[in-house]
């Protein structure tokens, strides 16, 4: 059990390579930094949820390199990661992540290269492949441990919780790899990763408690946030219902605020109120006309309301901005399928329409 946890820490440092920053859930930060320092690395862990770590926020602030980053750090790791992923590719090139993949999904960007225990933009292919192999070995060791009676048989509550966090991280990374493999047409690899993640989660009887711990940490952090800080935090998590709560007072003072309008639009989108969703998403483009996530979501709104030509035009605009986006290409394919199905339905009213996402 302890051997697996130590191997997880060492593998994290190895896969991080020469990265300066690692965005984490906060659980293994001290061990990761100590192992990194012993190898001559200056790897700084940035916990996205400060409520899950005893590390003082001031130490992260002092480690930041400029005033803007220090200001972001005062809010927390979620705000730093969001700002770097969106606006500072040079910072992300020196960073690795174990958490926060929703940012890439929401923006329609490709995930950073995802290895065994972390992801990093531009990671060496051989390093990535070796990391996946190590990850699979760790997962199989964990499953063998459960077959022998489970981790609680060998350790107390604190160590057991740390073990379960590692198990959760490995499961999450396996699901990200499965998603990437599925988009790449590697169905067998995707199935393998999904099955491994499923087995880890089935054996993680404390997973719900871990999720509740994260939620409690979030609530503690949000009590200290201004509306703008809370909005940014909610958007990082793609929690649009929460983001809407922060967006409303911001829009009273700044009606064209892009982030607030995006939050409102996506919250209405999730509720199926497509006319309201389109209204707010369109407002985002007043200040940021080249925001691919907005164009892509507008395309989906228009597809779901049967305006296929307009939807395709918006999706193609998004693809012009980010030509390699898998998500936008999927949207275009769905629009074309839905439009074809609608034409067939028009020609043959007895045939049900297919291809429109519900």
The per-residue pLDDT for 293 is 86
| Residue 238 contacts residue 198 (beta carbons within 8 Å) | no
DSSP calls for 133-194: HHHHHHHHHHHHHHHTT-GGGTS-HHHHHHHHHHHHHHHHHHHHHHHHHHHTT-HHHHHHHH
pTM reported for the whole predicted model = 0.60
The pLDDT assigned to 357 comes to 43
pLDDT confidence of residue 27: 85
pLDDT at 99: 87
Reported as half-sphere exposure (CB side, CA atoms, 13 A), residue 350 has a value of 0
Pure H helices in 52-121: 57-63, 67-75, 77-87, 89-92, 102-107
Query: What is the structure's pLDDT at 155?
Result: 66
pLDDT at 358 (0 to 100): 38
Cα angle 286-276-249, degrees, rounded to a multiple of 5? 70
Whole-number percent of the chain with pLDDT over 70: 80
Name which of 51, 27, 47, 45 is nearest 214 in CA terms: 51
Greatest extent of the chain over all pairs of C-alpha atoms, in Å: 71
pLDDT digits (tens, 9 = 90+) for 174-212: 999 998 998 888 989 999 999 999 999 888 766 656 556
Residues of the chain with pLDDT under 70: 49-76, 106-108, 152-155, 205-226, 233, 236-237, 349-358
Give pLDDT, residue 356.
43
Going along the chain from its start, the domains and CATH numbers come out as 2-205 (no CATH), 240-347 (1.25.40.10)
- DSSP assigned state of 65: S
């Amino acid at each position: 059990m302890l051997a697996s946890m130590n191997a997880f820490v060492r593998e994290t440092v190895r896969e991080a390579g020469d990265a300066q920053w690692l965005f984490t859930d906060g659980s293994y930060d001290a061990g990761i930094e100590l192992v990194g320092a012993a190898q001559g690395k200056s790897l700084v862990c940035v916990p996205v949820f400060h409520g899950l770590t005893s590390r003082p926020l001031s130490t992260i602030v002092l480690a930041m390199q400029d005033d803007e980053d220090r200001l972001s750090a005062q809010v927390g790791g979620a705000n730093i990661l969001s700002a770097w992923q969106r606006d500072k590719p040079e910072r992300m090139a020196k960073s690795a992540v174990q958490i926060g993949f929703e940012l890439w999904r929401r923006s329609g960007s490709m995930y950073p290269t995802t290895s065994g225990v972390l992801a990093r933009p531009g990671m060496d292919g051989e390093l990535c492949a070796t990391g996946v192999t190590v990850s699979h070995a760790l997962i199989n060791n964990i499953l063998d441990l459960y077959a022998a009676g489970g981790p609680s048989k060998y350790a107390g509550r604190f160590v057991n919780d740390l073990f379960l966090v590692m198990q959760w991280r490995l499961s999450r990374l396996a699901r990200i790899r499965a998603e990437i493999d599925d988009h790449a047409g590697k169905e067998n690899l995707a199935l393998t990763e999904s099955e491994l993640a499923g087995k880890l989660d089935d054996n993680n009887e404390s997973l719900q408690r871990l999720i509740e711990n994260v939620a409690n940490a979030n609530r503690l952090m949000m009590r200290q946030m201004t509306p703008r800080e809370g909005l940014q935090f909610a958007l990082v998590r793609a929690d649009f219902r929460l983001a809407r709560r922060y967006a409303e007072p911001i829009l009273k003072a700044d009606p064209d605020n892009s982030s607030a309008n995006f939050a409102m639009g996506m919250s209405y989108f999730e509720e199926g109120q497509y006319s309201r969703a389109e209204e707010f998403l369109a407002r985002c483009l007043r200040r940021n006309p080249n925001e691919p996530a907005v164009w892509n979501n507008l395309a989906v709104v228009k597809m779901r309301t049967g305006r296929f030509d307009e939807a395709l035009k918006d999706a193609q605009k998004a693809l012009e901005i980010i030509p390699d986006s898998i998500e936008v290409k999927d949207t275009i394919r769905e629009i074309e399928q839905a439009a074809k199905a609608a034409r067939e339905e028009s020609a043959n009213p007895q045939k049900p329409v297919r291809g429109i996402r519900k």
